[in-house]
């Protein structure tokens, strides 16, 4: 079950993270500005952000395995359509579809973990599954950029779609059917009222928002920065992400144990401060490719551990 959930998180992460190193190729293919190409990331994120709060609670009223299947299928359709996009407008629409699929899938992954595990085991499993996001950067992004270098950027989404099919097959086999938790008609809207009355949850959401805002502000244009600064092709740019992804993967995988030992609040504060210091180091000490990779590599474990702490704060 953990492997199945891990694969789901891995493929959705790979599909969303692959955009950064592909932006220069998309710009050249559609003859558009970098800001117009980056808008595809904004559309995906908006559909995910707007869809998750409303699609996620459906897991309390419907079978979660059925929701996961529908979510992955929608995500799969979006990925394959992105591979067929021949204009930036169509690419926007298809990224929106993929974002809605992710919005239905990922919240129910976290809810499934919370329903089946508790205590120290919950933190451990959460860390393992979350590490799928980091591994998608270390493995998924380089593979996608290599495919795009062999052919063109569309090939990355063909590869993403094929891996999604594998994840879907694993889901059908290993994830058990999950019965309805709450059948009351008022349950759906009651969950929003309960959240509004929980100040700690609101603060945790705000922390997560600021953290993700900073992370994606840097990550989105990192591929373009590397391409323009060091004159690397799409495939080479993808390999630079291996250092970040592997360290973040290790931190996320073992982050549950760190959160258990330090506590959620201390974990968030400590790794948040370290993240700030290392990200500032990118601008201060980035005199060349070697120092960029070094600072980027040591900075990346912090978000992985921090993410585990924030998820624990929600509870």
pLDDT in single tens digits along all 315 residues of the chain: 888 888 888 888 888 888 878 888 899 899 999 889 888 988 998 998 888 878 877 767 777 888 888 999 999 999 999 999 999 999 999 999 999 999 998 888 888 888 788 777 887 888 788 878 778 877 777 887 788 788 888 888 898 888 888 888 888 888 777 766 555 555 666 767 777 777 777 777 888 788 788 777 777 777 787 777 778 777 777 777 787 778 777 776 676 667 777 777 777 788 778 878 877 776 676 544 444 444 444 444 555 544 555 555 445
pLDDT at 92: 94
Instruction: Tell me the C-alpha distance between 66 and 273, whole Å.
Output: 40
**Structure-token pair, residue 191:** 């969950």
pLDDT at 17: 80
The helices-and-strands tally (H runs, E runs) of the chain is 15, 0
Q: What's the predicted TM-score (pTM) here? A: 0.72
Instruction: Tell me the C-alpha distance between 293 and 242, whole Å.
Output: 10
CB 100 within 8 A of CB 46: no
Instruction: Tell me the C-alpha distance between 225 and 218, whole Å.
Output: 10
Instruction: Tell me the C-alpha distance between 241 and 256, whole Å.
Output: 23
How far lies 297's CA from each of 130, 141, 238, 242, in Å? 18, 16, 14, 9
Q: How many residues does the chain have?
A: 315
pLDDT at 118: 79
pLDDT at 185: 55
pLDDT at 183: 54
pLDDT at 74: 93
CB 297 within 8 A of CB 247: yes
């Amino acid at each position: 079950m953990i492997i199945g959930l891990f694969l789901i998180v891995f493929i959705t992460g790979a599909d969303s993270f692959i955009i950064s190193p592909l932006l220069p190729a998309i710009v050249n293919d559609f003859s558009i500005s970098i800001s117009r190409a980056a808008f595809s990331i904004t559309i995906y994120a908006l559909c995910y952000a707007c869809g998750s709060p409303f699609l996620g609670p459906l897991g309390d009223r419907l079978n979660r395995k059925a929701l996961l299947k529908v979510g992955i299928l929608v995500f799969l359709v979006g990925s394959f359509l992105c591979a067929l996009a021949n204009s930036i407008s169509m690419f926007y629409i298809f990224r929106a579809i993929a974002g809605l699929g992710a919005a239905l899938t990922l919240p129910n992954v976290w809810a499934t973990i919370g329903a089946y595990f508790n205590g120290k085991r919950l933190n451990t499993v959460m860390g393992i599954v979350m590490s799928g996001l980091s591994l998608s950067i270390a493995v998924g992004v380089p593979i996608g950029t290599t495919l795009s270098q062999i052919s063109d950027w569309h090939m990355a989404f063909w590869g993403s779609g094929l891996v999604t099919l594998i994840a879907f097959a694993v889901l059908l086999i290993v994830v058990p059917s999950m019965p309805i938790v709450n059948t009351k008609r008022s349950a759906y809207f009651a969950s929003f009222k309960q959240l509004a009355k929980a100040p700690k949850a609101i603060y945790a959401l705000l922390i997560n928002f600021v953290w993700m805002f900073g992370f994606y502000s840097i990550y989105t244009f990192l591929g373009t920065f590397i391409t323009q600064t060091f004159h690397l092709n799409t495939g080479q740019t993808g390999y630079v992400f291996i250092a970040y992804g592997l360290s973040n993967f290790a931190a996320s995988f073992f982050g549950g144990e760190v959160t258990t030992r330090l506590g959620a609040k201390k974990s968030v504060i400590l790794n948040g401060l370290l993240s700030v210091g290392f990200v500032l180091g990118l601008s201060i000490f980035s005199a060349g490719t070697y120092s960029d990779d070094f600072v980027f590599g040591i900075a990346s474990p912090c978000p992985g551990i921090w993410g585990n702490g924030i998820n624990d704060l929600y509870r």
